[in-house]
A and B are shown apart, each in its own frame.
Chain A
């Protein structure tokens, strides 16, 4: 942003809004990392701590909303300020969803804590988890740096996450078909993988908003989409 506001309190509020988003982003990243660890390492204690952490994210989301509404009411923001406030509200909403999805992964980690897990199944989960976390981290960096090009890179990379999800999906399906006793475990893992794929979608949402914030225009490019699992039937996956 080129120059500062004449009204310094307005400037302070815009900064406060950014600080809250940065806090939310940090918490969401941490929560997601822990959720993936707890799933992989069968650590119900960590899972429980992770679940509790989501409350902080929810609280920050409410604070962002309240501050944004109050700023709109009192300061009648225009142009880039208006875009920043709208973007903050939307990003906070996405991060809140990321927190929920991460919490859900931690819950599933607790549910299957006692089960034995085939090693190569967990490699796939770790892989999608890392990719999802990387997307989140990169998009949060792009936000704090107001870097629309970096945001677009994240946006385009979502396809890779979709591809990993497709292969994890097929792998889990195969395990379930091999032995019905795997169904309980695999269903939880499948939902976990789906949550991680969804978190990637929230990262692309945030990326689009960064572009809007910086450029003032929506992303016009068509995003490549790689999630084809909606069309998969078990018969075809074994072929």
Chain B
């Protein structure tokens, strides 16, 4: 403390460009997987999303944060064309995944959603067995030729979702009989069973207790090795814990996007600062 000040040794200055691994583990130098350009969404007359431009990196977690109604879930839903289900919704601009515009008329939304999986806020397993929940996607997409292929996919997916050990003795029992946290991991197993490239998560932990939340967060960190993950969360601490990059949305616009460590220690925009510090007036 009483040494002559030397910034490099003080360690304090390091907080600004936070050392990798302080707020979120791993490098963020993956290639760009998803590219959004001038994306706008209209619900009837009302414009819910205004001219969003963003590059989303592969093998990393990108968190979308912002107050309710800011457009973050709307944008998330653009990434696998879930807005198609809403009649009044109109999307303009382009979303490219691996260089292909997913709004191209040639693209089959069902095939797209196999490549871009989704996990919702409330765990929503099918009223079927644990096995069938996971096997459903591979079955309709014809990913398994034989029963043993399918067994393999189901077990691997459950293992990847960190659920296999807990359910292996009751794999034919109903998925709805599991606890909330287990159900959510089952939904994640179901999403990864079709071998997607991108996984979207819309507040995946908001219905879970802290322990189940921690398990999901640990799982997200493991899945990041192989997938491009986008998570919408209302918990800023969760965004800070699990993501490598963070995007802040407000009133339908993307205000700021950058490295998570930077966003939470030294955001560039005052609106971001006001929101993450709880000063939104």
Q: Which A positions have Cβ atoms within 8 angstroms of B?
A: 2-7, 10, 76-83, 86, 90, 93-94, 97, 101, 198, 201-202, 204-205, 208-209, 212, 216-220, 223, 225
What are 7 of the A-B contact pairs (CB < 8 Å)? A2-B274, A5-B278, A78-B240, A78-B264, A83-B15, A83-B266, A209-B12
Stretch in contact with the other chain, from B2-10, B120-128, B181-189: B2-10
In the complex, the answer to whether B4 meets A225 with C-beta atoms within 8 Å is yes
Report the bound CA distance from A223 to B13 in whole Å: 15
Residues of B near A5 (CB, < 8 A) are 277-279
CB distance from A7 to the nearest CB of B (A): 6
**For window 179-223 of chain B, which residues contact chain A by CB distance below 8 Å?**
none
In the complex, the answer to whether B265 meets A83 with C-beta atoms within 8 Å is yes
Residues of B near A83 (CB, < 8 A) are 15, 265-266
CB distance from B107 to the nearest CB of A (A): 39
CB distance from B220 to the nearest CB of A (A): 19
In the complex, the answer to whether A7 meets B12 with C-beta atoms within 8 Å is no
In the complex, the answer to whether A77 meets B277 with C-beta atoms within 8 Å is yes
**B140 at the A/B interface (Cβ < 8 Å)?**
no
The total of Cβ contacts below 8 Å across the A-B interface reads 85
19 more contacts with CB within 8 A, not counting A216-B266, A218-B13, A225-B4, are A2-B270, A2-B274, A4-B281, A5-B279, A6-B280, A78-B265, A79-B266, A80-B273, A86-B12, A90-B12, A93-B1, A101-B2, A198-B2, A201-B3, A204-B5, A205-B1, A212-B13, A216-B16, A218-B7
In the complex, the answer to whether B1 meets A79 with C-beta atoms within 8 Å is no
SS class of chain A's interface: helix, strand, loop or mixed?
A: helix
Q: How many residues of B contact A (CB 8 A)?
A: 29
**For window 255-281 of chain B, which residues contact chain A by CB distance below 8 Å?**
264-267, 270, 272-274, 276-281
Residues of A near B240 (CB, < 8 A) are 78
Query: Considering only CB atoms, which chain A residue lies closest to B267 in the complex?
Result: A79
- 4 closest pairs, A vs B, by CB? A218-B13, A216-B266, A78-B276, A3-B279
> A80's contact among B1, B5, B277, by CB below 8 Å, is which?
B277
